[in-house]
Amino acid sequence: MPRTARAVIDLDVTGPVISRHLYGHFAEHLGRCIYGGFWVGEDSPLPNVGGLRADVVEALRALSVPNLRWPGGCFADEYHWRDGIGPREERPTMVNTNWGNVVEDNSFGTHEFMALCEALGADAYVNGNVGSGTVQEMSDWVEYLTRDGDSPMARLRRENGRDEPWRVPFWGLGNEAWGCGGNMSPEHYAEEAKRYGTFCKNHGDNVLTRIASGAPDDDIRWTEALMAAITCRGCTLKPEPVFQAISFHYYSHSGEGINTVSATDFTDEQYARTVAKALDIDRVIRVHSAVMDAHDPERRIGLICDEWGTWWSVEPGTNPGFLYQQNTMRDAIVAGLHLDIFHRHAERLRMANIAQTVNVLQAMVLTTDDGRLVLTPTYHVFAMNAGHQDATRLATSILAAPTLACDGEDLPALSVSASMREGSARDGSALVSLTHAGLDGDLEVAIDLRGREAMVRRARVLASDSVRDVNDFDAPERVAPRDLEASVDAGVLRVTLPPHSFATVELELGATTF
């Protein structure tokens, strides 16, 4: 007997715009993310554009990457930007103490990062150094990047070959100040964030969204201290906030902690616990939002999850400091669940960045040094979901669905989200995403489409025989999207989802029915 689920999508009940920045990325000087991943250098035998690996850029362009965070992570708080400008052969080296103690030659620096953003069509999210840098150093970096006209830093930039300032919309004030960013208390860091934020100026028409580094997971002491530092309860004249967003980080695993369980060899129980952990980000966003609502009911300050993803043990035989892991349908399910939850919190959650884009943690693409590349299952989820970027959220509800057992608890085995784009007065389109986390057999889903006429334009599913399947260099398309049968009859959308699968249905919308 196939299992069934029932849901409702109100095609005429719209919510906020799902910011494209919820589909943001993160690239750190860590393992083979930058070197060997994004950057091979101009003299490489691999096809490259000014040193940027051509196949990686091409694969990522298909995802419409909205923003890219760089240079870290923990690396950001030991990075000194002046080491990464000027002739490459003259740049000083340093030791990357966080990630494998390898020597960093600084051949990928500010100009190379901005060229990468341009190649991807992504906005730059530069993460400054609070932990071991100075206010002056950070202030100068902002000036170097964004100042037009004559100024010491604009002159230095021109000496290094770039006349025009760049546009940098996002600026991070340190990273994980509670740990690798300086082991500070929330109250101490809140003062530091104000001091650093004050001297990161808007030059010309470049307006920075300054992002204070916030909590690990649900540690709301960070959100509370940061909000208290920039808001004033009861003030009639609201102070202009020194930073405009607060971040938190959230990694998923199977309950044993990060870095301990294989990416590919896991039990069904460990799978279920991973689903539980992925779903729990909903509660985490809720608690941070509740604190923020109390200080800032007008939602002037954004919440940002600028590191999220799965964190497994490294692939056997690889450098433990490089965090290179494989990526299965379990990772794709985590991505599908997270993205649905992000859509649901679009009112307060303004950006999210998966960690990390290439060859590190829950990557989009994995590469070899001899020029091979595979797209991971997580890549396909991002590609299939790209239509939600900057679309308007629709109201969805699940009326009945099977559950997934996890340590005596029942987790919902189905997650749904939807968004729409208006066309002319009578038409438009909608995108429906469905994540089926269950392991036991097909799931027949019936969705009552209320409020508008609709027909299926295209449906696709990402599924594989085993939830442990991966794409590797021998079988790069083992897990790939294929067409899915879907129909709308009498206003009801019907699809059958294989176990542990992710699907999208594109709808063409017609006249209102109500």
DSSP secondary structure, 472-505, as one string: -SSSTTSS-EEE--EEEETTEEEEEEPSSEEEEE
Q: In the annotation, is 176 catalytic?
A: yes
Q: Smaller CB distance to ligand AHR: residue 24 or 241? A: 24
Question: Tokens 């938190």, residue?
Answer: 248
Q: Smaller CB distance to ligand AHR: residue 223 or 356? A: 356
For 377, the token pair is 């299952």
- Binds ligand AHR (CB under 6 A): choice among 36, 72, 428, 438: 72
Instruction: Give the shortest CB-172-to-ligand AHR separation in angstroms.
Output: 10
Estimate the share of the chain in helix, then strand, then coil, as percent rounded to the nearest 5. Answer: 25, 30, 40
Q: Smaller CB distance to ligand AHR: residue 60 or 431? A: 60
Q: Smaller CB distance to ligand AHR: residue 181 or 387? A: 181
- Work out the burial of residue 441: count CB atoms within 10 Å of its CB; fewer than 13 is exposed, 13-18 middle, 19 or more buried: exposed
**Does the bond joining 50 to the residue before it have cis omega, within 30 degrees of 0?**
no
Backbone angles phi and psi of 127, in degrees to 5: -105, 110
The residues near 337 (Cβ < 8 Å, ≥ 6 apart) are 275, 278, 279, 415, 435, 437
**Binding characters for ligand AHR, 132-171, by CB under 6 A (x = yes):** ----------------------------------------
Instruction: Give the shortest CB-196-to-ligand AHR separation in angstroms.
Output: 17
Question: Tokens 């889903």, residue?
Answer: 445
**Binding characters for ligand AHR, 340-379, by CB under 6 A (x = yes):** ---------------xx----x------------------
Interaction between residue 104 and ligand AHR (CB under 6 A): no
**Closest alpha carbon to 460 in 441, 439, 437, 432:** 432
Inter-CA distances, 347 with 111, 201, 284, Å:
34, 27, 15
Question: Tokens 């029942």, residue?
Answer: 410
For residues 264 and 358, what is the distance between their CA atoms, to the nearest angstrom? 18
Question: Tokens 């176990």, residue?
Answer: 499
Instruction: Give the shortest CB-179-to-ligand AHR separation in angstroms.
Output: 7
Instruction: Give the shortest CB-22-to-ligand AHR separation in angstroms.
Output: 18
Catalytic residue among 307, 422, 485, 506: 307
> What secondary structure letter does DSSP report for 314?
P
Q: Smaller CB distance to ligand AHR: residue 80 or 300? A: 80
Interaction between residue 77 and ligand AHR (CB under 6 A): no
Scanning 5-13, 39-47, 69-77, 159-167 for contacts with ligand AHR by CB under 6 A, the matching segment is 69-77
Identify the H or E element spanning 70: strand 67-70
Question: Tokens 């599913």, residue?
Answer: 461
Instruction: Give the shortest CB-325-to-ligand AHR separation in angstroms.
Output: 11
CB 278, CB 330: distance < 8 Å: no
Q: How many Cα atoms are found within 13 Å in the side-chain-facing hemisphere of 1?
A: 4
Interaction between residue 175 and ligand AHR (CB under 6 A): yes
CB 427, CB 509: distance < 8 Å: yes
Interaction between residue 78 and ligand AHR (CB under 6 A): no
Interaction between residue 74 and ligand AHR (CB under 6 A): yes
- Binds ligand AHR (CB under 6 A): choice among 73, 84, 128, 302: 73
- Binds ligand AHR (CB under 6 A): choice among 123, 176, 224, 296: 176
Instruction: Give the shortest CB-303-to-ligand AHR separation in angstroms.
Output: 17
Interaction between residue 307 and ligand AHR (CB under 6 A): yes
In the bound state, the residue with its beta carbon closest to ligand AHR is 73
Inter-CA distances, 142 with 76, 91, 417, Å:
15, 20, 38
Q: How many residues bind ligand AHR (CB under 6 A)?
A: 10
Interaction between residue 28 and ligand AHR (CB under 6 A): yes
Scanning 68-76, 288-296, 369-377, 472-480 for contacts with ligand AHR by CB under 6 A, the matching segment is 68-76
Q: Smaller CB distance to ligand AHR: residue 106 or 356? A: 356
Query: Known catalytic residues?
Result: 176, 307
| Residue ranges binding ligand AHR (CB under 6 A) | 28, 72-74, 175-176, 307, 355-356, 361
